[in-house]
Amino acid sequence: MLDDAQDIHPLFAGAPATTEFKKLRKRIVRQTREAIEQFGMVEKGARWLVCLSGGKDSYTLLAVLNELKWRGLLPIDILACNLDQGQPGFPATVLPEFLEKMGVPHRIEYRDTYSVVVDKVPEGRTFCALCSRLRRGHLYRIAREEGCSAVVLGHHRDDILETFFMNLFHGGRLATMPPKLVNEEGDLFVYRPLAFVAEVDCEKFAKSMDYPIIPCDLCGSQDGLQRQQVKQILDGWEANSPGRRQVMFRALMNARPSHLLDSGLFDFAGLTRGAPPEEGNPDALPKLR
């Protein structure tokens, strides 16, 4: 996979030749491929709308998906898409020029959702929730217009973990961003192929490749966000116990309904004494600990 300039996707052209970067690249590609396979994201011949914000995560997503397609490991068509939402100071030429240079099929869409958000959101409140809903609606529309079966997002492992704790602390539920879901209309998949990839790896990768990063705080609404507070908590835990993030992430893939309190997931009322657990079904009868 790590080869000469004549056999490499343009998005990887000029990649550092260091052993450290080669290991980083192989890890990200492997983890992305594992997520795609584990969560059944591939429909042969499908077309994916790969959403680009210009941040480190979306550049990493675009590069890795094109690498897998280049290698014949991802039998789908890719259309990159950036939605310019009219944020003041947004460098509108950066992504089109980059995508043209890299030979990546793309669509740039301008929709001034920023003015709508500023008008609707009360002073002192953050824009992110409404901004995200408006953006998602336009991306679904674009996907339909372009004949895509999936909208592909650059959320990584840390985004998923942070969302879990935001729901836990502020939403009163155990939930997070799933790596694969169907939209409310039922006509589009939403995929997150970077589900197993750490944020720090995305950052190292994008910086090493010198991709033209566009900051995510152009709207000025990022200070004091709940997500930032959760990130700081997780950073503290990780500093005190390296690897803690990955352990917590693994827990999201190892749920035990019988050891929680949701009677909609497990029939507590129907439990009887003396009945041994069903073979291969650890949730058939909780074990005391």
Looking at every residue in the chain, the average pLDDT score rounds to 88
The structure tokens listed for 139 are: 């991306």
Beta strand 189-191 with 180-182 is: antiparallel
Q: How far is the C-alpha of 26 from the C-alpha of 32, rounded, in Å?
A: 10
Q: What is the pLDDT of residues 21-71, one digit of tens each?
A: 999 999 999 999 999 999 999 998 899 999 999 999 999 999 999 999 999
The pLDDT of residue 51 is 96
Q: How far is the C-alpha of 148 from the C-alpha of 189, rounded, in Å?
A: 9
Q: What is the pLDDT of residues 261-287, one digit of tens each?
A: 999 999 999 998 876 666 556 555 555
Percent of the chain with pLDDT over 70: 87
The pLDDT of residue 284 is 56
Query: By CB neighbour count within 10 A (0-12 exposed, 13-18 middle, 19+ buried), where does 190 fall?
Result: buried
Instruction: Judge whether residue 289 has pLDDT over 70.
Output: no
What is the average per-residue pLDDT within 235-261?
95
Instruction: Judge whether residue 86 has pLDDT over 70.
Output: yes
In the DSSP assignment, the letter for residue 167 is: I
Q: What is the pLDDT of residues 110-164, one digit of tens each?
A: 988 778 877 777 776 666 777 788 889 999 999 999 999 999 999 999 999 999 9
Helix (H, G, I), strand (E, B) or coil at 248: helix
The structure tokens listed for 127 are: 């824009």
CB atoms within 10 A of CB 197: 28
Give me the domains of the chain, ranges plus CATH numbers. 16-250 (3.40.50.620)
Instruction: Enter the pTM of the model.
Output: 0.88
Among 33-42, 169-178, 195-204, 208-217, which is the least confidently predicted range?
A: 208-217
Instruction: Judge whether residue 107 has pLDDT over 90.
Output: yes
Burial of 215-231, coded b for 16+ CB within 10 Å and e otherwise, reads eeebbebeeeeeeeebb
Q: Which residues, listed in sequence order, are joined to residue 50 by a DSSP beta bridge?
A: 80, 152
Instruction: Judge whether residue 5 has pLDDT over 80.
Output: no
Q: How far is the C-alpha of 155 from the C-alpha of 216, rounded, in Å?
A: 14
The pLDDT of residue 132 is 80
**CA torsion through residues 136, 153, 117, 162, sign:** positive
In the DSSP assignment, the letter for residue 152 is: E
